[in-house]
Amino acid sequence: MKDPNCAYCGNEEALAAFGYPICEMDNALLYVFKEQSNKGRVILASKDHYDDFTEMSDEERNGFFADMAKVAKALRKLYEPDKINFGAFGDTGHHCHFHLVPKYKGSEEFGGMFAMNSGKLILDDEACAVLANEIRNALE
């Protein structure tokens, strides 16, 4: 099922407000999160419009989490964060997605919850493309 208003179902305008496409993986869609005060922050979304991962079949869910592990490993290799936070909320956007947020000791959010979108460091499309390329190349 697809929702025409949904950023992860192909609504490019909705997506452009916060995200930039990196690639389609085997079981998920990967995006740069334009707010990059935590370097390497991305969003991993399911291919179909599920409210959350409990609606997936076992096979889909296992595939989705396998892709999430691949992304996390790529982020570790590229940016060497001290920790990666995995956050899924979806109070308002009902398409299963996780925020993968690399955290760095010494940064103001380390040891606490990351801001949903602090707006402190928003990349333009050109800078997003560079980051997307870097991450795409680091994926197995």
Positive or negative: CA dihedral 56, 59, 60, 62: positive
Task: Give yes or no for a contact between 106 and 39, defined as CB atoms under 8 angstroms apart.
Answer: no
Considering the rule CB under 5 A, would residue 39 count as an interface residue with Zn ion?
no
Interface with Zn ion: number of residues (CB under 5 A): 6
* Binding residue for Zn ion, selected from 34, 47, 95, 97, defined by CB under 5 A: 95
* Binding residue for Zn ion, selected from 14, 16, 39, 49, defined by CB under 5 A: 49
Considering the rule CB under 5 A, would residue 115 count as an interface residue with Zn ion?
no
Considering the rule CB under 5 A, would residue 33 count as an interface residue with Zn ion?
no
Q: Rounded to the nearest whole angstrom, what is the least distance from the CB of residue 49 to Zn ion in the complex?
A: 4
| Residues that bind Zn ion in the complex, under the rule CB under 5 A | 3, 6, 8-9, 49, 95
